[in-house]
């Protein structure tokens, strides 16, 4: 199985940069990189009413879309669990 290409929206990059602790940012980036091998890992959930998935990393969530035809993952949003679904 081919590795997926990961593309992150510029707004998601800004959201990642706003996370206050470098340790949390590093963990989130590692989780995103793991998606290249398996876009639907154990613990990921499909969001209701959308073609998007989410993964957890501590208090933060990464919302992403998977395009299996183009072998691409689009990271749409990164944020605290309290705010990310709005």
Kindly report the CATH number assigned to the domain that includes residue 51.
Answer: 3.30.2310.20
Look at residue 20 and tell me if it is in a domain. Answer: yes
Report yes or no: 52 and 66 within 8 Å, Cβ to Cβ: no
Tens-place pLDDT, residues 37-74 = 999 999 999 999 999 999 999 999 999 999 999 999 99
**What local confidence, expressed as pLDDT, does residue 86 receive?**
84
Look at residue 27 and tell me if it is in a domain. Answer: yes
Look at residue 85 and tell me if it is in a domain. Answer: no
Q: Count up the domains in the chain and report the number.
A: 1
SS3 content of the chain, % helix, strand, coil (to 5): 25, 35, 40
**What local confidence, expressed as pLDDT, does residue 81 receive?**
94
Domain membership of residue 16 as a residue range: 5-80
**What local confidence, expressed as pLDDT, does residue 1 receive?**
66
Look at residue 13 and tell me if it is in a domain. Answer: yes
């Amino acid at each position: 199985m081919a590795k997926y290409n990961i593309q992150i929206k510029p707004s998601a990059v800004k959201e990642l940069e706003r996370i206050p602790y470098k340790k949390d940012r590093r963990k989130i980036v590692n989780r995103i990189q793991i998606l290249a091998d398996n876009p639907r890992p154990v613990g990921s959930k499909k969001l209701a009413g959308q073609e998007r998935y989410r993964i957890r990393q501590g208090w933060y969530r990464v919302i992403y879309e998977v395009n299996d035809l183009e072998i691409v993952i689009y990271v749409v949003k990164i944020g605290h669990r309290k705010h990310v679904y709005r």
